[in-house]
Protein backbone atom coordinates (compact mmCIF):
# COMPACT_ATOMS: atom_id res chain seq x y z
CA UNK A 1 0.00 0.00 0.00
CA UNK A 2 1.44 3.29 -1.07
CA UNK A 3 0.95 6.39 1.09
CA UNK A 4 0.04 9.72 -0.49
CA UNK A 5 2.51 12.52 0.13
CA UNK A 6 1.31 15.34 2.44
CA UNK A 7 0.29 18.48 0.57
CA UNK A 8 -0.17 21.61 2.74
CA UNK A 9 -2.55 23.23 0.21
CA UNK A 10 -5.18 20.59 1.07
CA UNK A 11 -5.58 22.24 4.46
CA UNK A 12 -5.29 25.88 3.47
CA UNK A 13 -8.20 28.34 3.44
CA UNK A 14 -10.23 28.29 0.27
CA UNK A 15 -12.83 30.81 -0.77
CA UNK A 16 -16.16 29.31 -1.75
CA UNK A 17 -19.34 30.85 -3.12
CA UNK A 18 -22.20 28.40 -2.60
CA UNK A 19 -25.63 29.41 -3.86
CA UNK A 20 -27.74 30.33 -0.80
CA UNK A 21 -31.04 31.18 -2.44
CA UNK A 22 -32.27 34.54 -3.55
CA UNK A 23 -33.59 33.37 -6.89
CA UNK A 24 -37.03 32.67 -8.24
CA UNK A 25 -37.91 28.97 -8.19
CA UNK A 26 -41.26 28.35 -9.83
CA UNK A 27 -43.71 30.89 -8.43
CA UNK A 28 -41.84 31.48 -5.15
CA UNK A 29 -38.96 33.83 -4.49
CA UNK A 30 -36.43 32.25 -2.15
CA UNK A 31 -34.01 34.13 0.08
CA UNK A 32 -31.02 33.32 2.22
CA UNK A 33 -33.32 33.39 5.26
CA UNK A 34 -35.27 30.39 3.94
CA UNK A 35 -32.44 28.18 5.17
CA UNK A 36 -33.48 28.56 8.83
CA UNK A 37 -36.83 28.59 10.57
CA UNK A 38 -38.12 32.12 11.07
CA UNK A 39 -37.87 33.16 14.72
CA UNK A 40 -40.63 35.18 16.30
CA UNK A 41 -40.25 37.43 19.32
CA UNK A 42 -42.70 38.44 22.01
CA UNK A 43 -42.20 41.83 23.61
CA UNK A 44 -44.13 42.56 26.80
CA UNK A 45 -44.11 46.12 28.04
CA UNK A 46 -46.05 47.10 31.14
CA UNK A 47 -46.62 50.81 30.88
CA UNK A 48 -49.05 51.50 33.69
CA UNK A 49 -51.25 49.82 36.26
CA UNK A 50 -54.29 51.31 37.91
CA UNK A 51 -56.71 50.37 40.70
CA UNK A 52 -54.05 48.37 42.56
CA UNK A 53 -54.48 48.07 46.34
CA UNK A 54 -53.09 51.16 48.06
CA UNK A 55 -51.51 49.18 50.92
CA UNK A 56 -51.35 45.76 52.50
CA UNK A 57 -50.73 44.53 56.07
CA UNK A 58 -47.22 46.06 56.05
CA UNK A 59 -48.71 49.47 55.23
CA UNK A 60 -47.46 49.82 51.66
CA UNK A 61 -47.85 48.32 48.21
CA UNK A 62 -44.67 47.74 46.19
CA UNK A 63 -45.94 46.11 42.98
CA UNK A 64 -43.80 44.31 40.42
CA UNK A 65 -44.54 42.12 37.40
CA UNK A 66 -43.43 38.58 36.50
CA UNK A 67 -43.76 37.29 32.94
CA UNK A 68 -43.77 33.52 32.41
CA UNK A 69 -44.02 31.59 29.19
CA UNK A 70 -45.93 28.31 29.38
CA UNK A 71 -44.30 25.06 30.42
CA UNK A 72 -42.73 23.05 27.60
CA UNK A 73 -45.23 23.05 24.71
CA UNK A 74 -47.84 25.32 26.27
CA UNK A 75 -48.69 28.46 24.33
CA UNK A 76 -49.82 30.48 27.36
CA UNK A 77 -48.07 33.61 28.62
CA UNK A 78 -48.81 34.51 32.24
CA UNK A 79 -48.29 38.07 33.47
CA UNK A 80 -48.51 38.20 37.25
CA UNK A 81 -48.58 41.30 39.46
CA UNK A 82 -47.21 40.82 42.97
CA UNK A 83 -46.58 43.01 46.01
CA UNK A 84 -43.00 42.83 47.31
CA UNK A 85 -42.90 41.99 51.03
CA UNK A 86 -40.13 41.01 53.42
CA UNK A 87 -41.35 37.46 54.14
CA UNK A 88 -43.58 36.37 51.26
CA UNK A 89 -44.71 38.42 48.26
CA UNK A 90 -48.47 38.87 47.94
CA UNK A 91 -50.31 37.89 44.78
CA UNK A 92 -52.29 40.86 43.41
CA UNK A 93 -53.57 39.44 40.14
CA UNK A 94 -52.69 38.04 36.73
CA UNK A 95 -53.52 38.12 33.04
CA UNK A 96 -53.22 35.07 30.78
CA UNK A 97 -52.65 35.22 27.01
CA UNK A 98 -52.70 32.45 24.44
CA UNK A 99 -49.79 33.11 22.07
CA UNK A 100 -51.94 31.99 19.15
CA UNK A 101 -54.27 34.94 19.83
CA UNK A 102 -51.60 37.63 20.26
CA UNK A 103 -51.72 40.00 17.26
CA UNK A 104 -48.71 39.96 14.96
CA UNK A 105 -47.23 43.16 13.61
CA UNK A 106 -47.41 43.69 9.87
CA UNK A 107 -44.81 44.89 9.00
CA UNK A 108 -42.84 43.54 11.99
CA UNK A 109 -41.70 46.97 13.19
CA UNK A 110 -45.12 48.67 13.07
CA UNK A 111 -46.48 50.01 16.38
CA UNK A 112 -49.35 48.41 18.27
CA UNK A 113 -51.95 50.45 20.11
CA UNK A 114 -51.78 50.21 23.94
CA UNK A 115 -54.38 47.88 25.41
CA UNK A 116 -55.76 47.68 28.98
CA UNK A 117 -56.31 44.26 30.58
CA UNK A 118 -58.13 43.52 33.83
CA UNK A 119 -56.28 41.43 36.42
CA UNK A 120 -57.88 38.13 37.40
CA UNK A 121 -58.06 36.36 40.78
CA UNK A 122 -56.30 38.79 43.05
CA UNK A 123 -56.68 41.00 46.06
CA UNK A 124 -56.27 44.07 43.82
CA UNK A 125 -58.95 43.17 41.28
CA UNK A 126 -62.38 44.73 41.29
- pLDDT tens-digit map of 11-64: 777 788 766 655 555 555 556 556 667 677 777 888 888 888 877 666 778 889
- Residue 9: φ, ψ to 5°: -65, -20
> Is residue 71's pLDDT more than 80?
no
Domain assignment of residue 30, yes or no: yes
Cβ atoms < 10 Å from Cβ of 124: 19
What is the span of the domain harbouring residue 36?
Answer: 8-101
CA 123/CA 116 separation, integer angstroms = 18
> Is residue 66's pLDDT more than 90?
yes
Domain assignment of residue 38, yes or no: yes
Cβ atoms < 10 Å from Cβ of 103: 8
Mean pLDDT throughout 79-96? 89
Domain assignment of residue 85, yes or no: yes
Domain assignment of residue 125, yes or no: no
What distances in angstroms separate CA 46 from CA 39, 95, 114, 115, one per listed residue? 23, 12, 10, 10
Domain assignment of residue 68, yes or no: yes
Into how many domains does the chain fold?
A: 1
Average pLDDT, whole number, for the chain? 76
Amino acid sequence: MMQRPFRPEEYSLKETSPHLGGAATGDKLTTTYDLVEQMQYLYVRVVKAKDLPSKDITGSCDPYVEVKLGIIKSSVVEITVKDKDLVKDDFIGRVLFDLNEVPKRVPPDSPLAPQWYRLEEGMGTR
